[in-house]
Homo-oligomer: A and B are copies of this chain.
């Protein structure tokens, strides 16, 4: 009864963890094949080309993120809590699994040499996340929960950059706690504590 995951979903799961560890060029069909115990050729049956596999993967990732963020907005009334909860998600990921990282932040670094079909989907993820953060910040501003020094779109970009940069630093220093150290004050700052 456990793990009803289809083969193609297993392939995507493994590929995702491999991308998180080493990026687009950091994994091969052979790696996936070894991890889930089917032949290389069988993976090509599900995903004819690598670009297609990663495209599907990024689409799925964006949809999952979209759904997760949307449900945060539904379950938590306060924009401040929504923001905090988004940050907590990553804090937990990074604390529990050291190899944790945002798939799209990883791929964004390799943007220049990604197949266009993949690159455009990474852009879509960034746009999506920026949009969600913007609307949460705007809502918080209108409720006088946040005291923003810049336009919501800009503050959203700043926050997003902090989160991704914090992931990078946490990984560089092999220190999961560093993520919180970096991100928490950025959220605190928005809570009007500065005036």
Question: A residues touching B (Cβ–Cβ < 8 Å)?
Answer: 21-23, 25-26, 99, 101, 104-106, 108-113, 122-123, 126-127, 149-150, 154, 157-158, 160-166, 168-169, 171-174, 178, 181-182, 185-186, 188-189, 193-195
Contact = CB atoms under 8 A, between A and B. Distances in A.
25 contacts: A21-B112, A21-B113, A22-B110, A22-B112, A23-B25, A108-B168, A108-B172, A109-B109, A122-B172, A123-B172, A123-B173, A126-B172, A127-B173, A149-B188, A150-B185, A157-B181, A161-B165, A161-B169, A163-B165, A164-B164, A164-B165, A165-B165, A168-B168, A194-B194, A195-B195
Nearest to A154: B181
Contacts of A163: 165
Contacts of A174: 111, 123
Contacts of A23: 23, 25-26, 109-110
Given A122-B172, A158-B162, A149 B185 contact: yes
B178 A169 contact: no
B168 A22 contact: no
Contacts of A108: 168-169, 171-172
A161 B150 contact: no
B194 A149 contact: yes
B162 A162 contact: yes
A14 to B, nearest CB: 15
